[in-house]
C-alpha cells in the first residue's frame, strides 16, 4: 500500500494529538477518509485513531459509514484488551503458584504508557520462559484451556478462543540474528518483580534496549509500522529522565545499534515532537508507511537478499544465492521443522527433499509466488533499500 502524503501526514498528526491529549487538528481539504481508514487498519491503529476522530467537530468528521468502521475497531479493541488482561493476569498467577520463571514482554507492558491500554492492540502476548520448563508450561497451558498451535524453535504458541494468542519464548530472537548473543543473556540482566518469586522484569534501560532490538529486527527485515515507533516514543517520553543513558549508549555500541537508535529517536521527534524533517527521515517514513504493522514479504525478500549479497555481487548473483538459501536452508532452520536432524545432521539432505516435497504438494501457489517475487525484484529496489538501511545506521561494520 502506497498512501498519499496527505493521509499519511494526517494519520501521524492525529496520533500525536491523541498521545498529547489535545484537541485534534482538523483534517486537510480533500482528505480521503477511506484511504486514511485503510492505512490505519494496515498499521493496526484504527481503534486508536477513533479516539481522535471522535473529538472532531461534527462537520469535520468522516462520513457516517466510515465513522462506524472506526468505531467498530474501537469497540473490538476494548473487548480484546479486557479479555487479554484478565487471562494473562490469571496465567502469571498460575505460573507463580507452580514455580515457573517467566517475564512478560513488549506490548503487555508498553500498553500502560498509552492514554488507554486498549489503544495498544496486541495480536499476541509474549512471555519469556526457561526452556527446561517447557513440559511444565505446556501442561499448565492445556489445563488452563489453551490448545497447542506450535511447539519448538524460538517460541511455543498457545491459543484460546475467541482471540487469545500466547507466545511462550524460550529465546527472544533467532540464533541467526546478530543480536542473539546479546539477548541470550537476558535472564542474567533480569530481576524479580516486587512481590513475586518467579515473575521477572528488566531494568528500564534493558527493556528500552530490548524494544529497540525488536524494532530493528522487523525494520531491517520485512519492515515495521508506525506503532513500533509509538512504543519507543512513549517509553522514551515516560522514562528518559530516569534512565542511565551512559549505560544505554554503551550497550548499544556493543551491538552496533547506537547510530540507528539515534535515527529512530530523531524520526520520532519529527513525527510526534517539533523537530524539522530532512531527506533521510522522509525516506524512512516512506519505507515504514509502505510496510504496514508487520512488514511486507517483498521488503523481507529484498532485505534478505541484501544481507546475502549486498554490494559484493551483481543482482543476478544475489538472486541465485537467495534461491539457494530458499531451497537449502541451514541446519539451524531445518532443525525447527525436523528436530531429529539436530542429532543426525547427516540427514539434512533428506530433510531438504522432504521440505521441497511438502512445499510443492501442499503450498504450490505460495512457492511459485515466492520465486516470482524474487525474480521480479529490480536492481534499483535492492540498491534503494540497502542504501536507506546504511544511511539509517544499519549493517555498518565496526571500525
DSSP 233: H
Q: Is residue 306 within 8 Å of 285, Cβ to Cβ?
A: no
Q: Are 388 and 287 in contact (CB under 8 A)?
A: yes
List C-alpha distances in Å: 325 to 322, 350, 364. Answer: 5, 16, 18
Q: How far apart are CA 34 and CA 284, in angstroms?
A: 24
CA distance 278 to 260: 16
Contacts of 280 (CB under 8 A, 6+ apart): 263, 391, 392
For residue 319, is pLDDT > 80?
Answer: no
Q: State how far the Cα of 277 lies from the Cα of 224, in Å rounded to an integer.
A: 20
SS3 label, residue 3 = coil
Percent of the chain with pLDDT over 70: 94
Average pLDDT score, the chain: 89
Return d(Cα 388, Cα 399) in angstroms, integer: 20
> What does the block give as the cell for 375?
525474480
**Of the candidate ranges 7-11, 189-193, 374-378, the one whose mean pLDDT is the lowest:** 374-378
Using DSSP's 3-state secondary structure scheme, residue 149 falls into strand
Between strands 102-104 and 125-129, the pairing is: antiparallel
pLDDT at site 21: 94
pTM across the whole model: 0.89
User: Given a cut of 90, is residue 360 above it in pLDDT?
Assistant: no
- Confirm if 61 and 53 have CB atoms less than 8 A apart: yes
> 226 with 40: CB under 8 angstroms?
no
| Assigned C-alpha cell, 6 | 496527505
Q: Is 257 helix (H, G, I), strand (E, B) or coil?
A: coil
Task: Average the pLDDT over each of 14-23, 37-46, 297-306 and give the range with the smallest value.
Answer: 297-306
**Among the listed ranges 202-216, 253-267, 300-314, which one has the minimum average pLDDT value?**
300-314
- Give the C-alpha separation, 153 to 337, whole Å: 8
Instruction: Judge contact between 124 and 220, C-beta under 8 A.
Output: no
At 399 the pLDDT is 41
285: closest CA among 9, 54, 1? 9
Distance (Å, whole) CA 143 – CA 307: 43
| In the predicted structure, residue 295 carries a pLDDT above the cut 70 | no
Q: pLDDT higher for 293 or 140?
A: 140
Mean pLDDT computed over 212-235: 92
State how far Cα 195 lies from the chain centre: 30
Where do the domains of the chain lie, and which CATH numbers do they carry?
5-289 (3.30.460.40), 297-392 (no CATH)
Separation CA 322–CA 366 (nearest Å): 16
In the block, residue with C-alpha cell 531429529: 340
Q: By three-state DSSP, how is residue 190 classified?
A: coil
Q: For the chain, give the number of residues.
A: 399
Taking residue 365's Cβ as centre, other Cβ atoms within 10 Å add up to: 7
Least confident of 111-115, 165-169, 307-311, 331-335: 307-311
pLDDT surpassing 90 at residue 262: yes
Label residue 351 by pLDDT band (50, 70, 90). confident
Give kind and range of the element (H or E) at residue 150: strand 147-150
Compute the 3-state secondary structure of the chain and give helix, strand, coil in percent, each to the nearest 5.
65, 5, 30
Label residue 370 by pLDDT band (50, 70, 90).
Answer: confident
What is the per-residue pLDDT across 162-200, written as a single tens digit (0 to 9) for each?
Answer: 889 999 999 999 888 899 999 999 999 999 999 999 999
Give residue 31's pLDDT: 94
DSSP-derived secondary structure for 9-35: HHHHHHHHHHHHT-PPPPPPTT--HHH
Taking residues 200-229, what's their average pLDDT?
Answer: 93
**pLDDT grade, residue 343 (50/70/90)?**
confident
Amino acid at each position: 500500500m502506497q498512501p498519499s502524503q496527505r493521509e499519511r501526514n494526517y494519520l501521524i498528526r492525529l496520533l500525536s494529538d491523541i498521545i498529547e491529549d489535545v484537541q485534534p487538528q482538523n483534517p486537510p481539504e480533500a482528505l480521503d477518509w477511506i484511504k486514511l481508514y485503510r492505512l490505519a487498519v494496515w498499521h493496526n491503529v484504527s481503534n486508536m485513531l477513533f479516539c481522535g476522530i471522535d473529538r472532531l467537530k461534527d462537520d469535520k468528521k468522516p462520513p457516517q459509514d466510515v465513522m462506524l468502521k472506526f468505531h467498530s475497531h474501537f469497540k473490538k479493541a476494548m473487548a480484546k484488551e479486557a479479555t487479554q488482561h484478565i487471562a494473562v493476569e490469571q496465567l502469571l498467577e498460575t505460573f507463580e503458584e507452580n514455580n515457573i520463571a517467566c517475564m512478560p514482554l513488549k506490548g503487555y507492558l508498553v500498553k500502560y504508557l498509552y492514554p488507554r491500554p486498549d489503544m495498544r492492540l496486541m495480536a499476541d502476548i509474549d512471555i519469556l520462559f526457561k526452556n527446561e520448563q517447557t513440559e511444565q508450561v505446556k501442561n499448565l497451558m492445556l489445563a488452563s484451556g489453551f490448545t497447542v498451535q506450535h511447539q519448538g524453535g524460538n517460541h511455543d504458541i498457545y491459543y484460546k478462543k475467541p482471540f487469545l494468542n500466547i507466545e511462550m519464548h524460550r529465546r527472544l530472537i533467532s540464533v541467526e540474528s546478530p543480536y542473539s548473543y546479546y539477548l541470550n543473556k537476558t535472564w542474567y540482566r533480569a530481576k524479580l518483580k516486587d512481590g513475586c518469586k518467579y515473575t521477572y522484569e528488566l531494568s528500564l534501560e534493558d527493556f528500552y534496549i530490548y524494544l529497540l532490538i525488536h524494532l530493528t529486527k522487523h525494520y531491517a527485515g520485512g519492515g515495521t509500522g508506525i506503532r513500533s515507533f509509538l512504543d519507543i516514543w512513549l517509553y522514551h517520553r515516560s522514562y528518559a529522565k530516569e534512565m542511565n543513558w551512559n549505560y544505554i549508549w554503551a550497550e548499544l555500541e556493543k551491538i552496533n545499534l547506537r547510530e540507528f537508535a539515534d535515527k529512530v529517536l530523531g524520526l520520532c521527534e519529527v513525527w510526534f515532537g517539533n523537530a524539522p524533517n530532512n531527506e533521510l527521515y522522509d525516506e524512512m517514513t516512506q519505507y515504514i508507511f509502505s510496510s504496514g504493522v508487520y512488514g511486507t514479504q517483498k521488503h523481507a525478500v529484498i532485505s534478505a537478499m541484501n544481507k546475502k549479497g549486498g554490494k559484493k555481487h551483481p543482482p543476478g548473483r544475489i538472486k541465485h544465492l537467495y534461491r539457494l538459501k530458499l531451497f537449502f536452508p541451514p541446519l539451524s532452520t531445518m532443525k525447527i521443522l525436523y528436530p531429529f536432524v539436530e542429532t543426525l545432521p547427516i540427514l539434512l539432505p533428506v530433510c531438504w527433499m522432504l521440505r521441497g516435497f511438502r512445499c510443492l504438494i501442499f503450498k504450490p501457489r505460495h512457492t511459485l509466488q515466492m520465486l516470482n517475487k524474487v525474480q521480479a525484484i529490480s536492481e534499483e529496489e535492492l540498491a534503494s533499500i540497502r542504501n536507506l538501511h546504511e544511511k539509517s545506521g544499519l549493517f555498518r561494520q565496526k571500525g
